[in-house]
Amino acid sequence: MSARIPIAVRDRVSDRAKKALDVVAKFVEEDCIPADPVLEAQIGVGDARWEKHPPIVEDLKKKARSLGLWNMFLPKGHYQESPGFTNLEYGLMAEWLGKSRVASEAVNCAAPDTGNMEVLAKYGNEAQKARWLKPLMEGEIRSAFLMTEPQIASSDATNIELSIQRDGDEYVLNGQKWWSSGAGDPRCQIYLVMGKTDPANPNKYKQQSVVLVPAGTQGITIHRMLTVYGYDDAPHGHGHISFDHVRVPASNIVLGEGRGFEIIQGRLGPGRIHHAMRTIGAAERALEWMLMRINDPRKATFGKPLREHGVILEWVAKSRIEIDAARLVVLNAAVKMDEQGPKAALTEIAEAKVLVPQMALTVIDRAVQCFGGAGVSQDTPLANMWAQIRTLRLADGPDEVHLQQMGRNENKRGKEVADKIGAQRDKTERLMRQYRASWAQPGSKIDRSKL
Amino acid sequence: MSARIPIAVRDRVSDRAKKALDVVAKFVEEDCIPADPVLEAQIGVGDARWEKHPPIVEDLKKKARSLGLWNMFLPKGHYQESPGFTNLEYGLMAEWLGKSRVASEAVNCAAPDTGNMEVLAKYGNEAQKARWLKPLMEGEIRSAFLMTEPQIASSDATNIELSIQRDGDEYVLNGQKWWSSGAGDPRCQIYLVMGKTDPANPNKYKQQSVVLVPAGTQGITIHRMLTVYGYDDAPHGHGHISFDHVRVPASNIVLGEGRGFEIIQGRLGPGRIHHAMRTIGAAERALEWMLMRINDPRKATFGKPLREHGVILEWVAKSRIEIDAARLVVLNAAVKMDEQGPKAALTEIAEAKVLVPQMALTVIDRAVQCFGGAGVSQDTPLANMWAQIRTLRLADGPDEVHLQQMGRNENKRGKEVADKIGAQRDKTERLMRQYRASWAQPGSKIDRSKL
Amino acid sequence: MSARIPIAVRDRVSDRAKKALDVVAKFVEEDCIPADPVLEAQIGVGDARWEKHPPIVEDLKKKARSLGLWNMFLPKGHYQESPGFTNLEYGLMAEWLGKSRVASEAVNCAAPDTGNMEVLAKYGNEAQKARWLKPLMEGEIRSAFLMTEPQIASSDATNIELSIQRDGDEYVLNGQKWWSSGAGDPRCQIYLVMGKTDPANPNKYKQQSVVLVPAGTQGITIHRMLTVYGYDDAPHGHGHISFDHVRVPASNIVLGEGRGFEIIQGRLGPGRIHHAMRTIGAAERALEWMLMRINDPRKATFGKPLREHGVILEWVAKSRIEIDAARLVVLNAAVKMDEQGPKAALTEIAEAKVLVPQMALTVIDRAVQCFGGAGVSQDTPLANMWAQIRTLRLADGPDEVHLQQMGRNENKRGKEVADKIGAQRDKTERLMRQYRASWAQPGSKIDRSKL
Amino acid sequence: MSARIPIAVRDRVSDRAKKALDVVAKFVEEDCIPADPVLEAQIGVGDARWEKHPPIVEDLKKKARSLGLWNMFLPKGHYQESPGFTNLEYGLMAEWLGKSRVASEAVNCAAPDTGNMEVLAKYGNEAQKARWLKPLMEGEIRSAFLMTEPQIASSDATNIELSIQRDGDEYVLNGQKWWSSGAGDPRCQIYLVMGKTDPANPNKYKQQSVVLVPAGTQGITIHRMLTVYGYDDAPHGHGHISFDHVRVPASNIVLGEGRGFEIIQGRLGPGRIHHAMRTIGAAERALEWMLMRINDPRKATFGKPLREHGVILEWVAKSRIEIDAARLVVLNAAVKMDEQGPKAALTEIAEAKVLVPQMALTVIDRAVQCFGGAGVSQDTPLANMWAQIRTLRLADGPDEVHLQQMGRNENKRGKEVADKIGAQRDKTERLMRQYRASWAQPGSKIDRSKL
């Protein structure tokens, strides 16, 4: 709720956004969270899980639109249909959305559609927008972004190798993709596919392109859905898909050949903020469940409720500190993105990308531990939340890749600080002479020559 | 393999056990690990998962018996059918068994049957042994131990409250159990059920008893199976079961009324060693998969294979250290149990109980991180292993309960060490006088009275 | 420098403060840091260390005043002599001051004088202000706050027991104090002493009072100075002092009898922000030294400079993230204190109190490790910085006391969140009925009665 | 004491060693620990600290010899004067020695003399032995090993560059050394100096040699002693020494030109075990002090003694686990060294080298935290112990160098395990066909072509 916005950024949040935030919070707590298990029940079991569109989702979408909650993610000034919120403002809302499984979709702010809509809004031509962006904006269809490939190390995106060859008026796609998140949903109608149009280009950042491929195109096979710690994430799913001479019109290319890297880079900034804030919401929810548990009078051990065990109280306190610190990091990145654009905010975004999932995993795991067996089971949302967030240490590049990049960036200051420290040492020498002071070094008067 | 036994305990392992260990290792690596995915395939999907007994398991059991691998867990001298291995020797075998899902069952050393067989062997009367122990020893049936209850904090076992009331020649059971591991298996025919026969007993350790309840008895309802992260662990399963006026003959009581605590305590020592060593095996397997991955030439990033990234090499090294240290802790506990019995080894066993799962979770998580998306999915054994081992930080009491108990035990030395340090300080004072030495304290000559 | 202010708070910093911040930064880097070793040289060796006032300090003070840098810590609107900076603004300056040993004193913003001046400004009467506050504000004398006692657990301040008895027009003090920081300095002329005027008061928060005791009063003995990991912190020092029938006029009481707790609580808020920001400055300096070292061409190992070792780069990146996150936590607390007062900011301040020293110790220790032997020695500022900051995990209450308090505070939400989750679960049940959905629980169709 | 030897290795310890161990334990607890502060008092203050040999040391040495405790470090069978203990047996004694500052010297088992005596015993010629080894064995003189140099990265020993040039019958040394531990002691009469006799040798492991240089030789200047955190470690000290055309007879070379690496490698194995076991002793002592503190009735906080705070009890328990695990790692390495020699035990020794100091620093830091201010001061042995042990993460190579080396070693199994896993997968495929089983992959029946 708006009253909980960290004070450092509070006055940057418009009254309109504060009101919207309160509406989001209420909608999530009162409508979406209670709906999550219903959604799961409606998805059902077995193969049918991939054919269902749970009716409760559409009902929630209707309610959301009636509350004025729709497409809030679209950044202010970025697109005419944008409801006009800043990254900071939407980030605060995303925290609430992250507490529920269904909430993001209910307000049409669910990944990967959000990123895909941004790509189409920013880089798509009018025909592409009319054909794909419009129904996405309306929540009528869903989409997937196909990038990762099973046979290579996708954490280095230059390795991506699906072939996209021009053949007359068409492109022909051959290759494999996996972790195609969202591809399981029967409403997923469009794939944004990254691959190589120019594998021989000496500039390895110019080899890739992105093309739009309708989901039902001939030659596409969905082999299976990948699981995440036992969860299939149906109906969304993480598809393993192959392309065998899949043909699309040449006009389906986005932005132009060789511009794939440009597109994925533009796509990632806001998405990382969204993910990070949703993850903070999940951590807050885990903390709430933990508080519920440690105050449950039926769950006392060794003569006192869990809340009176010092170790547990320390977990509560550390969780509070870690969540609050992480939130400030993300919101600061959002403000920077709002004021100076995503490029200027690269470091801040990367900090959030690395810090937040690790924090949330720690907080959730503490909650699991407080719950005992219930914590790992279907009776709390904790185990599932943990599994989902565990993937964020890998998605869009594993932590280690980001840390190496950040380390190198920070190290660019190396020469400057070495020069500064050198100058400080020189000045110290001058001062020592000026004040006729001398270092008192222990043992400096030892004379062993008499030995 | 026997060559890898830590040198500190190697000469305690008989030649016969070394040979058996080599046979176990070969059987696990060449027969069991390759069979694991077949087992999963044979279990199938949906409700059928709880009705299947995968044929490959019986084939492996036949092979195991032909290799002389059967019931190795039964401690030497403990029972006439024991193959005669010490806890140390079986512990070393259990490490190998822990690398495969099917291996423990294939050699009839799978939990919870092992603990249940020990209970029956140690505390059962002849009729109970003939009726239940014999088929368990033969691997013809399976069993479950029903202790944890959903509505209370079971980490404090005195809270357990399922009612066992004497009514003539029968006991009548009323209550609920969950985390009844193994109860999903269609071959699970016998439950060892812990509950209160004497809830008013002022000694809260005398209120509980254990009775034998055949799985099909009227009044028992299996409500569902609990999941562990997204895994259902079929057909084994973790049952949520209710008892509604379930009647068993009074002769089904084990050891006698009020002796439940005695039974569970006797049951836990060796079981904790087994769990710990299997967990070490899992960690070793995770490290092997990690090594495979970081040497995969297709998985190079940023111009070099993962094995040349310093951070990854450090993970490998730390994993090696942590596994080796943990193994020594468990084996030392096993030796102590062998030589002085489980009571004397309480501290050592508790150390292993707490240390090993945390270590293994760390090692496995590093491997997951190296694999990227494949690590969390069904394409490696890592995610499933992680989830299974995560429960070990909760099962048989959460880490925190054991740490508090160990802290209190260690603190019993408090007075003794305080006295010793006091005596040392007194002696220092005497020595200072004797040598006419005086403390040189900084600032001790400050005199501000002149101010 | 002002360009590095985190964007989330940047627009709250006035232009005047930004300019002052730039002056502070330049003064610290170009004048103070080079002066630090000179200061140490001027202090000398042996007992003389407690009698010296290094001349370079006075020269720096003169320069600071000429630059307009003086008493910036005194909060805006709090006192007429305040230069008018907010806690946020001064906090940003304190970060720079924390990079140098001498800097805080050079601008008359050194602890414990800052807290003592606040006490006198806020609670002192006119005579007390004229006698002690004025010369402190002018940097002519120094002061100490005597609270901690050696024979009790001072982390619980109600334990403090130095006796302050009214005797006619005087108070008579008897007892011992230690960790009287600053008491070693020959210019330290006034002690603010906390003790019990009313030990029998049933309200244990009303037993304590604070009285002003001139350093040279008869009956005071400075026994020695305590060391911090081998450092004596001369001439400042941490005094161990006894009071033997020390008499002061009754008018020397601050605020009134029984108001000691009120005074120390009012004193702590801003001080914690100052400490935290100085500590962040120290961490930044440690990171700079680390960057210098890993780029030193003479310090290459195994064929490459340290900056190309992945583990080292990860340390750099993690240090960057951790410092930035911690800074945002402190600055957010400062903003809250500025806008809503210290009481409203209690949680935020406690978060900073706990988080920042642990972060800085980690960052500094990484730098030590990069330097090898030089890192632990007198050749870098690192070891000394580490030792100083290690005390911050104890001073003003150990981390654990703060964490327990924060845990209890956070847990006050326990009932509210439990009610909310309960309501959510009820609503889920209603929705399940409404949609005629049913939970799909694995194993729910198991029927073993046929056994 | 012998009763506390971990059971896994207990029967490898001879009765004679058990008796000696009990004598060592008693001597350390009753004589050495009380003498430590006396030693410090006798060293005095200022420059005199480097000229004193505290009389209490000689008295303790006399007592030690009378108890039969002398040179126990010299490995069994290694040298005729060896008292005949194994590395395991001496390791157990070293744990006790590590609890006291003076104990190792009192029994003539102090570093660096131990390593130097081993070098002379193993590689020295008869003249060298008579001249230097004999008085060292008698405890008449002390020695230093000069290896590390200030201007290079000594963690890669091939960087060491002090020049040792043959000139007729002499060697001429030019260069600088630091961290020459023990060089501060007035009784330190002999330096073992490593440097380059053949800097142009293409095999960089053949460039170095070790020569014996008497401490008083002309051209040697002791510039100062390095501090460790604020401690000077007088009279032992860590010298910074320069060599300016220092001449020694050619016969002073040890083993021969170009054999420096051979010598340092032979020197390190047992030394690392000694250091590790002493460090474990220090950790045990820290735990004892912690237990004393948390049971101190004067140090209760918030209504209960520290021992009843759950967080503190958890620290006690974790310390117990971590110490016990680390001890087993070191003792297992010692056994391996005893049975198979230091080369075979390289991995085990490296594990101990990395694991033990980090463990001890954690345990000691917890004790510091329990003590509050006293913990960082001269009033407990904790701060000094922490500082000493912190250097062990750097000495003989920083942790990171060892971890990289261990990572590379472990990774040598890479191909083997990849092949094994490959074979397992192949077998799985065969079994799947044999059993006509098929993978059940979620989503595998999705057909979107109908879209």
pLDDT in tens, B282-332: 999 999 999 999 999 998 887 888 999 999 999 999 999 999 999 999 999
Classify residue B248: in a domain, yes or no.
yes
A235 with A293, same domain: the answer is no
Whether the link from the prior residue into A381 is cis, omega within 30° of 0, is no
Is the predicted pLDDT of residue A78 greater than 70, yes or no? no
Task: Give residue A451's identity as a one-letter amino acid code.
Answer: L
Average pLDDT, chain B: 95
Greatest C-alpha distance within chain A = 96
What's the pLDDT band for B396 if we cut at 50, 70, 90?
confident
- pLDDT of C451: 56
| Residue in A50, A3, A43, A41 with CA at minimum distance from that of residue A22 | A3
d(C-alpha A248, C-alpha A236), whole Å: 24
Return the partners of chain C (3 or more C-beta pairs < 8 Å). Answer: A, B, D
d(C-alpha A315, C-alpha A329), whole Å: 21
Which chain A residue has the Cα nearest residue C351?
A321
- What contacts A308, CB < 8 A, 6 or more positions away? none
Specify which residues B164 forms β-bridges with: B173
Residue C438's H or E segment, with its range, is: none
Mean pLDDT of the A133-150 span: 97
- What contacts B6, CB < 8 A, 6 or more positions away? B324, B327, B328, B331, D332
d(C-alpha A110, C-alpha A104), whole Å: 5
Is the predicted pLDDT of residue D449 greater than 80, yes or no? no
Which chain A residue has the Cα nearest residue C418?
A292
Local structure of residue A130 (DSSP, 8 states): I
Task: Give residue A312's identity as a one-letter amino acid code.
Answer: I
Structure tokens at D233: 């470690």
A156 with A249, same domain: the answer is yes
- pLDDT of D450: 57
- Pairs across A and D, CB distance < 8 A: 99
CATH number at residue B104: 1.10.540.10
Is the predicted pLDDT of residue D87 greater than 60, yes or no? yes
Is the predicted pLDDT of residue B450 greater than 70, yes or no? no
Residue C245's H or E segment, with its range, is: strand C238-249
Q: Measured between beta carbons, which residues in chain C are less than 8 angstroms from residue D233?
A: none
Cβ <8 Å between A50 and D448: no
- Give the gyration radius of chain C's Cα atoms: 26
D270 with D392, same domain: the answer is yes
- pLDDT of B269: 78
Q: Measured between beta carbons, which residues in chain B are less than 8 angstroms from residue C215?
A: 448, 451
Q: Measured between beta carbons, which residues in chain B are less than 8 angstroms from residue D407?
A: 312-317, 320
Local structure of residue C70 (DSSP, 8 states): S
Cβ <8 Å between B443 and C189: no
What's the pLDDT band for A402 if we cut at 50, 70, 90?
very high
Q: Give the strand pairing for C188-196 and C142-146.
A: parallel
Q: Measured between beta carbons, which residues in chain C are less than 8 angstroms from residue D178?
A: 373
d(C-alpha C187, C-alpha C140), whole Å: 8
Classify residue A214: in a domain, yes or no.
yes
Mean pLDDT of the D390-418 span: 95
Domain region containing D288? 262-397
C206 with C151, same domain: the answer is yes
CATH number at residue C290: 1.20.140.10
D392 with D299, same domain: the answer is yes
What's the pLDDT band for B90 if we cut at 50, 70, 90?
very high
Of the residues B199, B224, B254, which one is the last residue of a structural domain? B254
Mean pLDDT of the D325-329 span: 98
ipTM for the predicted complex: 0.96
C249 with C272, same domain: the answer is no
- Pairs across C and D, CB distance < 8 A: 150
A335 with A242, same domain: the answer is no
Which residue ranges in chain C fall short of pLDDT 70? 78-79, 449-451
Of the residues B219, B238, B254, which one is the last residue of a structural domain? B254
- pLDDT of B299: 87
Whether the link from the prior residue into D398 is cis, omega within 30° of 0, is no
- Pairs across A and C, CB distance < 8 A: 240
Classify residue D336: in a domain, yes or no.
yes
Specify which residues A209 forms β-bridges with: A195
D94 with D217, same domain: the answer is no
Chain A residue set in contact with D, beta carbons under 8 Å: 47, 49-50, 184, 186, 188-189, 214-216, 218, 220, 222-225, 227, 232, 234, 237, 239, 309-312, 314, 441-451
* Angular region, A46: left φ>0, alpha ψ -120 to 50, beta rest: left
Average pLDDT, chain D: 95
Classify residue B225: in a domain, yes or no.
yes
Could you report the per-residue pLDDT of A189-206, keeping only the tens digit for each? 999 999 999 999 999 999
Structure tokens at D325: 């695990």
Which residue, among A233, A301, A362, A386, would best test binding to B if mutated, counting the most B CBs under 10 Å from its CB? A301
- B283: helix, strand or coil: helix
A79 with A189, same domain: the answer is no
Cβ <8 Å between D379 and C151: no
How far is the alpha carbon of A300 from chain B, nearest alpha carbon, in Å?
A: 6
Task: Give residue A149's identity as a one-letter amino acid code.
Answer: E
Residue B252's H or E segment, with its range, is: none
Classify residue A76: in a domain, yes or no.
yes
- What's the domain count of chain B? 3
Of the residues B373, B397, B421, which one is the last residue of a structural domain? B397
What's the pLDDT band for B373 if we cut at 50, 70, 90?
very high
Which residue, among C293, C370, C376, would best test binding to D if mutated, counting the most D CBs under 10 Å from its CB? C376
Mean pLDDT of the A263-281 span: 90
CATH number at residue D205: 2.40.110.10
- pLDDT of C133: 96
Mean pLDDT of the B41-53 span: 92
Classify residue D443: in a domain, yes or no.
no
Query: CA of A307: how far to CAs of A299, A448, D29, D207, in Å?
Result: 10, 65, 42, 65
Classify residue B49: in a domain, yes or no.
yes
- pLDDT of B156: 86
A195 with A271, same domain: the answer is no
B54 with B85, same domain: the answer is yes
Is the predicted pLDDT of residue D264 greater than 70, yes or no? yes
D77 with D157, same domain: the answer is no
Cβ <8 Å between D44 and B8: no
Q: Measured between beta carbons, which residues in chain B are less than 8 angstroms from residue A401?
A: 301-302
- What contacts D214, CB < 8 A, 6 or more positions away? A451, D189, D190, D191, D248
Return the partners of chain B (3 or more C-beta pairs < 8 Å). Answer: A, C, D
Cβ <8 Å between B376 and A390: yes
- What contacts D58, CB < 8 A, 6 or more positions away? none
Classify residue B236: in a domain, yes or no.
yes
